[in-house]
Amino acid sequence: MAFGWIDEQAELRRRAGLVRTLRPRAADTPLLDLASNDYLGLARHPEVTEGAARAARTWGGGSTGSRLVTGTTELHAELERELAGFCGFEAALVFSSGYAANLAAVTALAPHGSLIVSDAGNHASLIDGCRLARGTTQVAAHADPDAVRKALGAHDGPAVAVSDTVFSVDGDAAPLAALAEACREHGAGLVLDDAHGLGVLGDGGRGAPHAAGVAGADDVVVTVTLSKSLGSQGGAVLGPSRVIEHLVNAARTFIFDTGLAPAAAGAALAALRLLRREPGRAARAGEVARELHTRLTAAGLEAVRPDAAVVSVRAPSPERAVRWAADCRAAGLSVGCFRPPSVPDGISRLRLTARADLSGAEIERAVRVIGETRP
């Protein structure tokens, strides 16, 4: 029978208690949300939703074509200009997702004969970029600039190091300045995924590369998503103009993909302008994360010290992590649950995301529910 093998896989998943299911979210859900990536609480901000609505009314429900044909509107150009300016880069290129932006940056900057040095904790989209690229990938120990330096030193030819700025599983930060130095010593490029840094780290949320003083350097390229702190959807690559021009001409996920929907571009632009006007939102997300960590630790839970807005809480096993998240949900709290095969190290955890708009009472309630439901 066609696809017979998938039934065996399904059976194994069922036996391990690791079946994934989709749960459509109601618009007026009573759940307290510590699972979404809406770090600044902007996804439903009236200025952001109005930005989306206005863009859709002006430009339509879709962008109508690929970016090089009809899919580039004045709105896309405006978003690219403002995003680059805000984060401290010469230029930016918007994609239909952060995933597509990562595939583009890695594949277009790692030609045949090149070396890609990829952090062991990188996000799946960077890993997939490495798999698709013509260059050869070497996985380096997690957050270890010396491992990157050693790998680069052993290679002759074009090279690029690739790393998340804030790792999505444990929320720890990469040593960006040291990574940039290691790359510079060997004439290599550095590609950083700032999906969890933009809007949270750096002056007013300008991102982790800005905070580390590497934004705008001619050998640093940064990818971001518009779907987390900016409360919209889509992604972007930021970097020197010559790199962006190269992507326009060479990145397949740019050339062969329909341009970002106007509503998403309009929402992201409105969120970016709001963040410029209210820079305190960024610092607040970090404060909430640190408060969550302090309270969880005081309650005897094993939580990783957050460097941005992601707080990771260790669970004893994959099955118990899944049950723990379900018990939280039954008690009115929505949390993320990371377990194999989504985590490369095999360690299961609850993943909490701090939001700038969480109140003290909500933080307290979240910690109480997590403590009371612990396995």
Q: Give the residues lining the site for ligand PMP (CB under 6 A).
A: 97-99, 102, 123, 125, 164, 168, 193, 195-196, 225, 227, 235
Question: Shortest approach of ligand PMP to residue 125 CB, angstroms?
Answer: 5
Question: Shortest approach of ligand PMP to residue 312 CB, angstroms?
Answer: 13
| Cβ-based nearer residue to ligand PMP, 67 or 196 | 196
| Cβ-based nearer residue to ligand PMP, 164 or 327 | 164
Triad 162, 163, 166: Cα angle to 5°: 165
Residues with Cβ < 8 Å from 85, sequence gap 6 or more? none
Distance, CA of 271 to CA of 38 (rounded, Å): 11
| Cβ-based nearer residue to ligand PMP, 173 or 369 | 173
Look at the alpha carbons of 135, 138, 144, 146 in this order and tell me if their dihedral is positive or negative: negative
> What is the β-pairing status of strands 220-225 and 32-34?
unpaired
| Cβ-based nearer residue to ligand PMP, 125 or 138 | 125
Cβ neighbourhood burial of 160 (10 Å; 0-12, 13-18, 19+): buried
Question: Shortest approach of ligand PMP to residue 9 CB, angstroms?
Answer: 23
Question: Shortest approach of ligand PMP to residue 267 CB, angstroms?
Answer: 13
Question: Shortest approach of ligand PMP to residue 196 CB, angstroms?
Answer: 6
User: Which residue of this chain has its Cβ atom nearest to ligand PMP in the complex?
Assistant: 98
Q: Which two tokens stand for residue 192?
A: 């950083």
Distance, CA of 121 to CA of 127 (rounded, Å): 9
Phi, psi (degrees; rounded to nearest 5) at 242:
-65, -30
Distance, CA of 226 to CA of 264 (rounded, Å): 8
Distance, CA of 252 to CA of 104 (rounded, Å): 7
Triad 105, 108, 113: Cα angle to 5°: 125
| Cβ-based nearer residue to ligand PMP, 195 or 337 | 195
Distance, CA of 290 to CA of 305 (rounded, Å): 7
| Cβ-based nearer residue to ligand PMP, 106 or 195 | 195
Letter for the amino acid at 24? P
Question: Shortest approach of ligand PMP to residue 234 CB, angstroms?
Answer: 7
| Cβ-based nearer residue to ligand PMP, 307 or 327 | 307
Q: For residue 197, is it left (φ>0), alpha (ψ between -120 and 50) or beta?
A: alpha
Question: Shortest approach of ligand PMP to residue 143 CB, angstroms?
Answer: 14
